[in-house]
Amino acid sequence: MGGVMSLAPLLLRFKWGWVVLLILLGVYFFAGRMGESERAADEPATARPDDELAQFVGFVLDDAQTIWVQKFAERDLNYRKAKLVLFTDATSTGCGYGDAATGPFYCPSDERVYIDLGFYRELSKRFGAPGDFAQAYVVAHEIGHHVQNQLGTSEKVHRAPRSRQIGAEGLSVRLELQADCYAGIWANATGRKKTLEAGDIEEGLAAAAAIGDDRLQRQSRGTVSPESWTHGSSDQRVHWFKTGYESGKMDSCDTFDTAL
């Protein structure tokens, strides 16, 4: 904002000063409307049908992080905001090469959430989970991983022996289910602000169910192998999202000291 303000006195001396000033202000606020989000370097600058969706994802990111700033402050902690990178097909990340096949993901090394907007079309058409709140749930889940990163939870899981990480009861599944619970906490806070619409929570629950390991495995190969799960079953994901939503409390999201 400082650069725009410093130009104002000079611009007003010229005949078209007001016009130029308004254009500069318009460009400034347009550039800032995504809040803390940013695009990958290879993202085309031209207008696309996905622009409205990109704005929505950026809004959800900012809204979720506002909630977590408050939650951290309640514990006398400082919350560092994550960045959002929207990409097409593939992009480089602080965690290595990322592509659309992996779905949305969070990289703890650069503290960024990576989303290929094509995933949302897959979520709606292939997995049968359409709706704005289904899309919002995905962003809130990835921000849940950012919360875990700052609290040191992710590091503890990744340092554990591989034998403790894998499987339906493993630490990796528990980490993912906690991120679902944290997404529910955001939904709870959103509900308190009276911004939820009828059917929103149902959309979130449908999204959680759509990407459960058991459902995905059954769709892709016709069989279910719990020993290879990484995110938890549909029922588990729904349960922990609802737990966070109904309680609104971080203490309710301890997926590590409870039976799944």
**pLDDT tens, position by position, 140-180:** 999 999 999 999 999 999 999 999 999 999 999 999 999 99
Residues 124 and 218 in one domain: yes
Report how far residue 106's alpha carbon sits from residue 101's, in angstroms, rounded to the nearest whole number. Answer: 14
Residues 79 and 142 in one domain: yes
Residues 55 and 3 in one domain: no
Asked whether 227 and 162 are in contact (CB, 8 A), the reply is no
Q: How many residues does the chain have?
A: 260
Report how far residue 84's alpha carbon sits from residue 222's, in angstroms, rounded to the nearest whole number. Answer: 35
Q: What is the pLDDT of residues 14-60, one digit of tens each?
A: 333 333 333 333 433 333 334 344 444 344 433 345 789 999 999 99
State yes or no: pLDDT of 115 exceeds 50. yes
Asked whether 77 and 83 are in contact (CB, 8 A), the reply is no
Give the structural domain span for 8.
1-32
State yes or no: pLDDT of 97 exceeds 50. yes
In a domain, 260, yes or no: no
Domain count, the chain: 2
Residues 16 and 128 in one domain: no
In a domain, 162, yes or no: yes
In a domain, 159, yes or no: yes
